[in-house]
């Protein structure tokens, strides 16, 4: 079938930017989106109650593809994302952090994988930049499980910036990556199917996730519709003083993380699992109607009983040493 004919057209993608006092970086992020090789997209920026100066910077941005929503209270990353979702129309959704930079084939690559596979979530690899836009890595040290990097031709590094090289993909199962474990790169890496995001309307404590919303979104989409990791580097993750991860790659092949963030990761893992159990018990009737009883029971079992004990042991070891 010719997908360019009048009866079948390529889907619209909604890019949701949750924005809170990131005026220093927002113009670079917007420019990288407008420079995409795939053009059928909209940008929904949710201003999550930024201060007056940062709101002014945001409201000076004018483009027909951009819609700006100014919130009257701070909902946090997850709450702001869901507001953006309600005000978007795309069949596929990306949640882009307003301080990151997309490479030109970001949308085209992620959509290509979605349309040729069946998954709720596709997550790409990433490089890293600092606050001055200087590249510090094209091989993120915490790239997803089992993804092996191809040998790099150092005379053709520019290929990393248009994904012209072949890439590998890994289809993740709930057995290999149990609910609430982490096996992807950060928030901007993901493209989601809108239908899969519907489950988030039942989540009981949205305001808790002021940061770390990708933990909730990725975990639930992986649970209900599976996920795929791809080795293509499609965006640049920015390190700066306001990062929630508080990490640096300047030390080499390990991530040195602030002790408070390690504790936060453990708290997140407990929080999301108990919230999910509460959600499935409280909304049992609605979830059975939406997913049927057999799937409901499978998902509930995966939330309660599936653990990756190897990763749990690693987390405890990490807490002890303050290093991963």
Is residue 129 included in any domain, yes or no? yes
Q: Report strand pairing: 92-97 vs 190-193.
A: antiparallel
Task: Tally Cβ neighbours within 10 Å of residue 77.
Answer: 25
User: What CATH number is associated with residue 235?
Assistant: 3.90.550.10
Separation of alpha carbons 172 and 195, rounded Å: 19
- Is the dihedral angle over the CA atoms 252, 258, 263, 267 positive or is it negative? negative
Q: Which two tokens stand for residue 57?
A: 């910077």
CB 227 within 8 A of CB 176: no
pLDDT score, position 139: 82
Judged by DSSP in three states, 166 sits in coil
Buried b (16+ CB within 10 A) or exposed e, 230-248: bbbbbbbbbbeeebebbbe
Separation of alpha carbons 273 and 269, rounded Å: 6
pLDDT score, position 240: 79
Separation of alpha carbons 182 and 214, rounded Å: 10
Is residue 144 included in any domain, yes or no? yes
Separation of alpha carbons 157 and 305, rounded Å: 44
Helix orientation angle between 76-86 and 213-225, rounded to the nearest 10 degrees: 60
pLDDT score, position 88: 98
User: Looking up tokens 């580097």, which residue turns up?
Assistant: 233
Is residue 79 included in any domain, yes or no? yes
pLDDT score, position 147: 63
Helix (H) or strand (E) holding 299: helix 293-305
Is residue 293 included in any domain, yes or no? no
State the residue range of the domain holding 257.
Answer: 13-267
Closest CA to 233 of 134, 172, 166, 170: 166
Is residue 6 included in any domain, yes or no? no
pLDDT score, position 2: 57
Give the mean pLDDT per block of 10 residues along the chain (324 residues).
71 98 97 97 98 97 97 97 98 97 96 95 94 88 67 52 71 91 94 97 96 97 96 91 59 70 86 97 98 97 82 62 52
Is residue 224 included in any domain, yes or no? yes
pLDDT score, position 4: 57
Separation of alpha carbons 78 and 219, rounded Å: 13
Q: What pTM did the predictor assign? A: 0.90
Strand intervals (E) in the chain: 13-19, 41-47, 66-70, 92-97, 101-102, 121-129, 135-137, 169-172, 190-193, 227-238
Closest CA to 111 of 40, 175, 61, 58: 40
Is residue 296 included in any domain, yes or no? no
pLDDT score, position 307: 73
Is residue 311 included in any domain, yes or no? no
**How many folded domains does the chain comprise?**
1
Separation of alpha carbons 88 and 99, rounded Å: 21
């Amino acid at each position: 079938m010719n997908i360019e004919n009048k009866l079948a057209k390529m889907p619209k993608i909604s890019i949701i930017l949750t924005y809170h006092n990131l005026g220093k970086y927002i113009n670079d992020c917007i420019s990288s989106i407008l420079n995409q090789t795939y053009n059928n997209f909209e940008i929904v920026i949710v201003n999550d109650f930024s201060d007056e100066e940062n709101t002014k910077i945001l409201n000076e941005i004018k483009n027909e593809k951009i819609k700006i929503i100014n919130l009257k209270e701070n909902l946090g990353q997850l709450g702001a994302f869901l507001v953006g979702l309600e005000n978007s129309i795309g069949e596929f959704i990306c949640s882009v952090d307003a301080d990151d930079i997309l490479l030109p084939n970001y949308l085209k690559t992620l959509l290509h994988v979605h349309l040729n596979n069946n998954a709720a979530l596709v997550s790409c690899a990433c490089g890293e930049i600092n606050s001055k836009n200087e590249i510090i890595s094209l091989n993120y040290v915490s790239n997803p499980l089992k993804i092996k990097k191809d040998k790099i031709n150092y005379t053709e590094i520019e290929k990393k910036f248009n994904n012209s090289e072949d890439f590998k993909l890994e289809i993740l199962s709930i057995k290999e990556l149990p609910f609430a474990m982490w096996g992807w790169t950060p928030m901007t890496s993901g493209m989601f199917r809108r239908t899969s995001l519907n489950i988030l309307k039942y989540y009981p404590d949205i305001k808790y996730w002021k940061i770390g919303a990708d933990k909730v979104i990725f975990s639930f989409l992986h649970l209900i519709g599976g996920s795929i990791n791809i080795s293509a580097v499609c965006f640049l993750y920015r390190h700066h003083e306001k990062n929630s991860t508080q990490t640096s790659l300047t030390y080499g092949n390990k991530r040195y993380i602030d002790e408070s963030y390690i504790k936060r990761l453990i708290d997140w893992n407990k929080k999301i699992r108990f919230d999910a159990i509460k959600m499935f018990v409280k909304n049992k009737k609605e979830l059975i109607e939406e997913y049927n009883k057999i799937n409901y029971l499978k998902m509930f079992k995966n939330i309660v009983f599936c653990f990756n004990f190897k990763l749990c042991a690693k987390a405890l070891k990490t807490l002890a040493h303050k290093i991963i």
